[in-house]
């Protein structure tokens, strides 16, 4: 048992370190990471895109210098914590080193290695889904009411991390209701723990109310721009493809809870799995939305496979480790950007991989790199070019110049590099950046960073004497290639009141005042 425990902690450390060693140094932060880091400079109990938990972590990362390590520290840490939870389940069941090793493979050789590299809310989502299941398993095993209060805290903190925690929570309770574990609903401590959850969630609920429940606006926009294009059939296929080298492990976990006499007391985990898949299929969810339902299944599957492969079947264990590891190594360039961008694009083309589904971006076109990788390059170069345009103005004129971006991603990236390249604060009215727009304005010139000239009915941009394109970025592998840097000069006297009214009107959409 001691050897299995040591192995578990060793593998958790390997899992933490591995992405830092594999990703090529030419890549920068992901476009969305710049937004979440910006939210760390504007702490609040909610944002238009996500609940507040990620911003608290961003605040700490910013305080530590917001280097790549301190940005990526959080997903790496929580990925390893999930592996530790899986290991604890296995050890409590009586599993040993082989089961621990088997359960670690999905975190080293499947899509999990990418998920726990990005500073996105998804890593928190998977963590709290797993924690909720882990706590219920511990309650079922021990019948100690203290675990119900841990569950309440977990659900509350999970809802402060990503609202989709509610999906799995509802699915878990569905599983409890449909099994012998339904007696939990007669336990008064369950309802006391629910009160704890609500208390933790309350600040964010108040924030949502004060801002007109932007979560529903965000969900509607997501449905219109992304989810409506997702084929439910592709979602179901991706549940296999997402963890392809290790798919046999989580399938074994399902078989364990449904057909093993020992595992039947955990059958609610299997029922909750199908409830989640059915719900997300109906809602046209993205493939990774279901990622949080698998860690516990991997734990159960690894334990059961270890138990089954004894005696004459012992040799099968070598295949169960070597085949996923070998396949995982071969597909690693699909999971993480292990080569420089152009080298990686050439590799994909040489292997005829560039027409696979992961190369179709949100514009529904195929590109040389997966979209996530195309979102990790070009930002510093764009910041440097924008700074060059800004510095080309006389110093007196720089003080009267506002830098504005069409997209939150551009504003986030430019603010991230602002001190390094010599830019002032960069503004945008996209996403949560809208909340940070000033109430009053005093500028004469405007640098616009965006892909196209503003429409003629965009009245703010009609208040300038002249406009010119000063520079652009031409980097085909970069998702934001062809972004232009416009300089609007000599704004008239109407610029100030028109801008202030326009920003106030946009903000009013998210205010009950």
pLDDT 10s digits, 463-503: 999 999 999 999 999 999 999 999 999 999 999 999 999 99
319 and 441 housed in the same domain: no
Q: Is residue 62 part of a domain?
A: yes
Alpha-carbon torsion, ordered 101, 107, 110, 114, to 10 deg: -160
DSSP 489: E
72 and 216 housed in the same domain: yes
* pLDDT at 219 exceeding the cut of 80: no
Least Cα distance to 28 among 384, 448, 471, 452 occurs for 384
Out of 16-20, 138-142, 351-355, 441-445, which region has the weakest mean confidence (pLDDT)?
A: 351-355
Encoded tokens for 401: 């110049």
Question: Count of domains in the chain?
Answer: 3
399's CB contacts (< 8 A; 6+ apart) are: none
Residue 420 CB neighbour total at 10 angstroms: 11
How many Å apart are CA 250 and CA 56, to the nearest integer?
33
The pLDDT of residue 363 is: 81
How many Å apart are CA 313 and CA 468, to the nearest integer?
73
Average pLDDT of span 10-16: 97
Cβ atoms of 156 and 196 within 8 Å: the answer is yes
* pLDDT at 186 exceeding the cut of 80: yes
Cβ atoms of 448 and 417 within 8 Å: the answer is no
309 and 352 housed in the same domain: no
426 and 353 housed in the same domain: no
Q: In the block, which residue shows the tokens 């040389």?
A: 368
Confidence of residue 458 (pLDDT cuts 50, 70, 90): confident
Q: Is residue 64 part of a domain?
A: yes
Cβ atoms of 382 and 480 within 8 Å: the answer is yes
Least Cα distance to 3 among 98, 86, 106 occurs for 98
Cβ atoms of 232 and 284 within 8 Å: the answer is yes
Out of 126-140, 209-223, 400-414, which region has the weakest mean confidence (pLDDT)?
A: 209-223
Cβ atoms of 436 and 510 within 8 Å: the answer is no
Encoded tokens for 108: 């080293």
Measured CA angle at 80 (ends 75, 84), to 5 deg: 145
List, in sequence order, every residue forming a beta bridge with 427; answer none if it has no partner.
404
13 and 156 housed in the same domain: yes
b/e burial code for range 127-162 (CB count within 10 A of at least 16 → b)? bbbbbbbbbbbbbbeeeeeebbbbbbbbbbbbbbbb
Q: Is residue 479 part of a domain?
A: yes
DSSP 354: T
325 and 350 housed in the same domain: no
The pLDDT of residue 166 is: 92
15 and 78 housed in the same domain: yes
Is residue 191 exposed (0-12), middle (13-18) or buried (19+ Cβ within 10 Å)?
exposed
259 and 359 housed in the same domain: no
Q: Is residue 513 part of a domain?
A: no
Q: Which residue has the higher pLDDT, 219 or 264?
A: 264
356's CB contacts (< 8 A; 6+ apart) are: none
The pLDDT of residue 275 is: 93
Q: Is residue 275 part of a domain?
A: yes
349 and 327 housed in the same domain: no
Confidence of residue 385 (pLDDT cuts 50, 70, 90): very high
Q: Which helix (H) or strand (E) holds 472?
A: strand 464-472
Provide the residue range defining the domain that includes 397.
379-508
Encoded tokens for 264: 């039947």
* Dihedral sign of CA atoms 156, 164, 50, 202 in order: negative
Average pLDDT of span 282-297: 87
Q: In the block, which residue shows the tokens 């958790």?
A: 12
Confidence of residue 444 (pLDDT cuts 50, 70, 90): very high
* Alpha-carbon radius of gyration of the chain: 25
How many Å apart are CA 112 and CA 294, to the nearest integer?
10
Least Cα distance to 200 among 144, 128, 130, 138 occurs for 128
326 and 351 housed in the same domain: no
> What is the reported pTM?
0.94
pLDDT in tens, 329-342: 999 999 999 999 99
129 and 15 housed in the same domain: yes
327 and 387 housed in the same domain: no
Kindly list the distances between the CA atom of residue 134 and the CA atoms of 203, 369, 410, in Å, as whole numbers in the listed order. 26, 37, 39
Residue 214 CB neighbour total at 10 angstroms: 18
Instruction: Provide the percentage of residues in the chain whose pLDDT is more than 70.
Output: 98
Helical spans, DSSP H, in 23-162: 31-39, 53-63, 68-93, 97-109, 112-115, 122-142, 146-159
- 3-state percent breakdown (helix, strand, coil) of the chain, nearest 5: 65, 5, 30
């Amino acid at each position: 048992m001691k050897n299995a425990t040591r192995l578990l902690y060793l593998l958790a450390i390997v899992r933490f370190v591995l992405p830092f060693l594999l990703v090529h140094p030419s890549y920068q932060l992901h476009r969305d990471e710049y937004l979440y880091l910006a939210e760390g400079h504007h702490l609040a109990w909610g944002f238009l895109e996500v609940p507040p938990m990620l911003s608290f972590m961003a605040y700490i990362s910013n305080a530590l210098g917001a280097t790549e390590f301190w940005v990526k520290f959080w997903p790496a840490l929580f990925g390893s914590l999930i592996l530790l939870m899986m290991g604890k389940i296995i050890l409590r069941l009586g599993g040993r080193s082989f089961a621990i090793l088997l359960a670690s493979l999905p975190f080293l050789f499947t899509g999990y290695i990418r998920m726990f590299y990005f500073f996105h809310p998804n890593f928190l989502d998977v963590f709290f889904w797993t924690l909720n299941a882990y706590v219920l398993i511990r309650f079922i095993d021990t019948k100690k009411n203290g675990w119900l209060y841990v569950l309440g805290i977990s659900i509350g903190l999970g809802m402060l991390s990503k609202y989709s925690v509610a999906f799995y929570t509802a699915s878990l309770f569905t599983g409890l209701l449909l099994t012998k574990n339904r007696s939990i609903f007669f336990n008064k401590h369950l309802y006391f723990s629910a009160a704890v959850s609500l208390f933790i969630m309350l600040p964010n609920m108040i924030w949502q109310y004060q801002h007109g429940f932007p979560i529903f606006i965000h969900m509607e926009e997501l449905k219109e721009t992304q989810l409506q294009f997702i084929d439910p059939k592709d979602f179901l296929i991706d549940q296999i493809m997402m963890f392809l080298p290790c798919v046999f492990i989580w399938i074994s976990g399902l078989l364990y809870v449904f057909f093993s006499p020992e595992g039947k007391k955990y059958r609610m985990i299997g029922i909750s799995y199908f409830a989640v898949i059915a719900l997300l299929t109906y809602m046209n969810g993205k493939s990774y939305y279901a990622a949080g339902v698998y860690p516990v299944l991997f734990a159960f599957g690894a334990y059961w496979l270890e138990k089954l492969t004894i005696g004459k079947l012992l040799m099968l264990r070598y295949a169960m480790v070597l085949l996923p590891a070998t396949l995982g190594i071969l597909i690693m360039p699909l999971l993480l950007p292990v080569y420089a961008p152009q080298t990686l694009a050439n590799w994909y083309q040489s292997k005829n991989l560039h027409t696979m589904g992961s190369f179709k971006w949100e514009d529904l076109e195929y590109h040389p790199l997966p979209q996530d990788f195309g979102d990790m390059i070009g930002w510093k170069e764009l910041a440097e070019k924008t700074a060059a345009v800004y510095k080309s103005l006389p110093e007196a004129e720089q003080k009267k110049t506002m830098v504005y971006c069409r997209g939150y991603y551009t504003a986030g990236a430019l603010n991230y590099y602002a001190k390094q390249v010599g830019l002032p604060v960069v503004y945008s009215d996209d996403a949560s950046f809208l909340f940070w727009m000033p109430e009053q304005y005093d500028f004469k010139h405007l640098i616009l960073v965006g892909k196209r000239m503003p429409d003629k009915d965009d009245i703010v941009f009609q208040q300038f004497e002249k406009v010119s394109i000063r520079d652009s970025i031409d980097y085909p592998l970069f998702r934001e290639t062809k972004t232009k840097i416009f300089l609007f000069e000599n704004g008239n006297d109407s610029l100030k009141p028109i801008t202030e009214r326009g920003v106030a009107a946009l903000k009013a959409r998210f205010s009950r005042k």
